[in-house]
Structure 1
Amino acid sequence: MSFSLATRAAALAAALALAACASNSAKTPEQIVAERAEARWQHLIKQDFAGAYAYLTPAYRDVVPQEQYRRRFGSAGAWTNAIVHEVSCEPEACTVKMRITTQVRVPLFAAHISEVTTYMDERWVRENGQWWLYQSL
């Protein structure tokens, strides 16, 4: 029995899609949320606020325009590093403890302190099968 090249290509594509789904479904909520939290912070570090905005809940994005979200961030510091320190999840929500390093840009303080490292908690929620950062209005 001989299969055409198109049939073989379709079968290979289907097998690859199933493998991708299987590897994705094998991840725990903690792993998925950690990856999303770290990716969001990489956007913030690069000052790609549009990229970071995409990780916010759809409900938040329905109410707060992207430009208004962008204005929430000042210029007194620049994030230089963000590491997921810990993730703990319930069925529909996770708390992520992030370790954030910021370069101080205020001249009066920068002479004495050039970098500050702190921890902050983020709340992530699952909606329609996807994890989103919960941001209060």
Structure 2
Amino acid sequence: MNKTGGIIGALASLFVAGAAIADRADDVSTVRELSTQRLDALLAGDFERAYHFTSPLYRQFASLDEHMQRIHGAKFWKAATVGAVSCEGKRCEIKVKLDYIMASNGQMSQTVLDEVWIEKNGKWWIYYSLR
């Protein structure tokens, strides 16, 4: 390979790597915003709006009422903050800091929730197992 070909190849590799990093940054930003919107809905008690952040496939098998049974503890949430977001391919993982009131004694407590978001057909959805 001549010197010019090597330089062009290296530049092309940098361009592709740069595009992948930019795409990942876009994914992180998108998923962070979607998670924040979903958490805001849950904190406001708008479980129907929060339900629409789940995938269409999930909604085919889990009704709103069934989903509300899964997230019934959200009624005790007082604050939620999206923390670290890491994405690889079509999957992002998020750490959410959650302040809530313990049902047993009314005391405030904190925990960290793990959220998984998946991309399907260009849209991001929070992942819930169908089990």
Equivalent position to 2:76, from 75, 78, 102: 78
- After superposition, residues 1-137 of structure 1 pair within 5 angstroms as 28-74=26-72, 78-106=76-104, 109-110=105-106, 114-137=107-130
C-alpha deviations, 1:23-70, integer Å up to 9, x for none?
Answer: xx9x61001000101110111111111011000011101111111111
The structure that is helix-richer by fraction is 2
* Residue identity (%): 31
Q: How many residues align?
A: 107
| CA shift for structure 1 position 71 | 2.1
Q: Could you state the TM-score of these two structures normalised by the residue count of structure 1?
A: 0.72
C-alpha deviations, 1:60-93, integer Å up to 9, x for none?
Answer: 0111111111122336961111111100001211
Which structure 2 segments of 5+ residues have no match? Answer: 1-22
- Contact kept, 8 Å, 2:43 with 2:74, in 1: the verdict is no
Please identify runs of 4+ aligned residues in structure 1 that moved more than 6 A: none
Structure-1 separation of matches of 2:111 and 2:57: 29
Structure-1 separation of matches of 2:52 and 2:98: 20
CA RMSD of aligned residues (A): 1.9
Structure-1 separation of matches of 2:74 and 2:55: 27
Letter in 1 for 2:70: R
Which structure 1 segments of 5+ residues have no match? Answer: 1-24
- Contact kept, 8 Å, 2:42 with 2:74, in 1: the verdict is no
* Secondary structure, aligned partner of 1:99: strand
| CA shift for structure 1 position 105 | 3.6
